Amino acid sequence: MTNKMLRLDRAITVHLTRSWLKRRGLPVLMYHSISEITDGLRHPYYELRTPANIFEEHMQWLAQNDYRSLPVSGLQGAVLDGQDGKHVAITFDDGFRDFYTTAFPILQKYGLTATVFLPTAYISHNRQQFLGLDCMTWSEVEELHGAGIEFGSHTVSHARLYGLSQDALEMEISESKNAIEEKLGVPVRTFAHPYAFPSDSTYSDRLRDLLAKHGYRAGVCTALGLENASGDPYFRRRLPMNGFDDADFFQAKLEGAYDWLGTVQTVRKRIMQRVKHG
């Protein structure tokens, strides 16, 4: 079923826009779980799993092409200094245990690093689950932190932030930050917005003010595209990655050929906002 579903985004990217749409920018890769795709029923764009062999192919390609990985906290200097040509940020949302067991050893093998965003309600001394997958424990997070992995906030409960009251929104971003800082003993400066990022300037202004108030300095969201100096440092765009990203598709995304879809998504969100508010 999945192979017959869409794949239109891949076809357009690899066979059409790749030939003429080349954009300079820094790719911020968005992974979730490094595990086997189980049912194949999810639309390829929304798949959250990347099998270990595919993830290793991605990391091997980066290493062979002399890419240097940066933590999200280091993106601002890189994009402003025009160093984006051979730099990449590798991010993981949701704090799944397979980052500890599978992704991290592969990153080490190729001399790469990553930023992991934790929904702290699911990170405990005892094993918790999110979306049916095991999450890391605090002892595993502490071990990875000692090995150089950067950790940031992915809220407390992985809530849909858009529409929350001011108090609830502030709780999600402040208490998650406090929990990670208490366990690791270092300031937490980075934040990843859960779920789709709305095209609503009033909301983004409100959230940015709260992030700055609580000491965040950088962040990422689910808006799609390469990053550059004009991007919002609190809501950096990313490239979604999963097990359907073969070598050609992966490389085309890093070249900027996938950015067309980000433009389509932005236009669609704006139309929906206008319809919603009349």
pLDDT at 40 over 90: no
Identify the three-state secondary structure at position 90. Answer: strand
* C-alpha distance from residue 39 to each of 2, 211, 218, 246 (Å): 10, 37, 35, 19
Specify the pLDDT at position 61. 97
pLDDT at res. 4: 44
Please list the residues that pair with 90 across neighbouring strands: 29
What would the two tokens of residue 274 be? 């206008």
| Parent domain of 176 | 24-156+169-276
Identify the band that residue 272 occupies on the pLDDT scale cut at 50, 70 and 90.
low
Which segments of the chain are extended strands (E)? 28-31, 68-70, 87-93, 115-118, 129-130, 133-134, 150-153, 190-192, 218-224, 236-240
Q: Is 112's pLDDT higher than 50?
A: yes
196-244 pLDDT, tens per residue?
999 899 999 999 999 999 999 999 999 999 998 889 999 999 999 999 9
Return the pLDDT at 82.
65
Cα 89 to chain centroid distance, Å, stands at: 9
Alpha carbon distances (Å) from 266 to 217, 224, 254, 261, 262: 24, 9, 20, 9, 6
Residue 48's contacts (CB-CB under 8 Å, 6 or more residues apart) are 32, 33, 42, 94, 131, 242
Residue 197 lies in a domain: yes
179: left (phi over 0), alpha (psi -120 to 50) or beta: alpha
pTM attached to this predicted model:
0.93
Q: How far is the C-alpha of 50 from the C-alpha of 20, rounded, in Å?
A: 28
- Are 175 and 121 in contact by the 8 Å Cβ rule? The answer is no
In a domain, 161, yes or no: no
In a domain, 6, yes or no: no
The two three-digit tokens of residue 135, written as one number: 């999450």
User: What pLDDT was estimated at residue 1?
Assistant: 36
Q: Is residue 2 part of a domain?
A: no
182, 153 contact by CB (below 8 A)? no
Report the mean per-residue pLDDT for the chain.
91
Question: Would residue 143 count as lying in a domain?
Answer: yes
Total domains in the fold of the chain: 1
**Residue 62 belongs to some domain of the structure:** yes
Question: How far is residue 113's CA from residue 246's CA, in Å, rounded to a whole number?
Answer: 21
In CATH, what number is assigned to the domain containing residue 96? 3.20.20.370
CB 168 within 8 A of CB 238: no
As a whole number of angstroms, the distance between CA 168 and CA 192 comes to 17
